[in-house]
A and B are shown apart, each in its own frame.
Chain A
Amino acid sequence: KQEVTQIPAALSVPEGENLVLNCSFTDSAIYNLQWFRQDPGKGLTSLLLIQSSQREQTSGRLNASLDKSSGRSTLYIAASQPGDSATYLCAVPFGNQGGKLIFGQGTELSVKP
């Protein structure tokens, strides 16, 4: 059974700091891994999707890495801004069912000005 865990559950940093969010999964046979952002009371915004054959993906100040063998992914946010404050979720597809996502509990990020 695939389980996805994110640590820390909450993180507060001063503006401008670089930070790393962690995601681990128990079954390394994944097709891809996706990072999402969720603002309070809102839906999910896809940030990055890493295919199983890739090691990392970058978008602006965001960089996501994937290490399948160790069952880990990290989301690196450079030069954090107050607008980055949100909950960040990672998710992996379940088995070979083509799309059913298993989510971590999320990391609630607060960037203080």
Chain B
Amino acid sequence: GAVVSQHPSRVICKSGTSVKIECRSLDFQATTMFWYRQFPKQSLMLMATSNEGSKATYEQGVEKDKFLINHASLTLSTLTVTSAHPEDSSFYICSSRIRGYNEQFFGPGTRLTVL
């Protein structure tokens, strides 16, 4: 199946710093990438949908100025958590979809801890 990678896998930062998370589709071109957030013992909640070359579409309640998404190529999308605070600590997972196919392929996730 298609492989999606995320980097870094784990990050610990101080409150107020910005953190960038990369999501790459390794062996296919992803026309759409999705960013999810998962709190402990909870399910995944979609944050935003990112289409290559266009602005991301954010879900209700997700601050676009805080969670900056860039989808500059068909294989790379980045999520930047700006001025991170402890409440942003979570597990962030990206997924990719190929145009015309319904199935999504998920990355291994990034554990963010803000002190």
Contacts and interface: CB of A to CB of B under 8 A. Distances in A.
13 contacts: A34-B104, A42-B108, A43-B93, A43-B107, A43-B109, A46-B106, A49-B102, A93-B102, A97-B49, A99-B34, A99-B97, A105-B43, A106-B43
| In the A-B complex, the 8 residue pairs with the closest CB atoms | A43-B108, A44-B106, A43-B109, A103-B43, A99-B97, A103-B44, A105-B43, A43-B106
B61 interface: no
Contact of B102 (A31, A36, A42): A31
The binding surface of chain A is classed by DSSP as strand
Contacts, number: 58
B46 A101 contact: yes
Nearest to A97: B49
A43 to B, nearest CB: 4
Interface of B: 1, 6, 32, 34, 42-46, 49, 91, 93, 95, 97, 102-109, 111
Contact of A89 (B44, B46, B97): B44
A49 B93 CA distance: 19
Contact of B103 (A41, A49, A103, A105): A49
Contacts of B6: 43
Which of the four size classes fits the interface of chain A?
20 to 34
A21 to B, nearest CB: 14
B111 to A, nearest CB: 7
A97 B97 CA distance: 12
Given A32-B102, A46-B104, 12 more contacts: A31-B102, A44-B44, A45-B106, A46-B1, A46-B105, A91-B44, A98-B32, A98-B102, A99-B34, A100-B49, A101-B34, A101-B46
A99 B102 contact: yes
A46 B42 contact: no
